[in-house]
Amino acid sequence: MNINPFDMLKNAKVLQEQMSKMQETMEGIVATGSSGGGIVKISINGKFEMLSVIIDPVAVDPRDVPMLQDLIRAAYSDAFSKIKDDLQSRIGPLAGGFPSL
């Protein structure tokens, strides 16, 4: 089996360019997750950075802070799942057989 190192370098450069484009795309992907029937909404980008948190005043009960914490966690998880699915569908062709990506 003959491996040409120049072909490997050429392919690495193409892959690096594709990954650079994907990183730019990731910043532009935004998903909003919600919980509690929409009383808590969290938006995150493709880099999983939180962009906004919207909490309906009805969710703010000082006697039940744990419920609000659960709603926030659930909304973030919902948004995270949406971003993850979006990225997997976009990266899938680039991953080329690497299911962990």
Residue 94, pLDDT score: 58
Mean local confidence (pLDDT), 3-12: 72
**Assigned CATH class of 29-93:** alpha beta
* Residues 31 and 44 sit within 8 Å (Cβ to Cβ): yes
Give the per-residue pLDDT at 19: 80
d(CA 29, CA 100): 20
Task: Give the residue from 16, 82, 93, 92 showing the smallest Cα distance to 48.
Answer: 82
For tokens 């309906």, name the residue: 56
Per-residue pLDDT of 27-78, as tens digits, reads: 889 999 999 999 999 999 988 899 999 999 999 999 999 999 999 999 999 9
3-state helix, strand, coil in the chain (%, to 5): 55, 20, 25
Q: Domain coordinates of the chain in residue numbers?
A: 29-93
pTM > 0.75: yes or no:
no
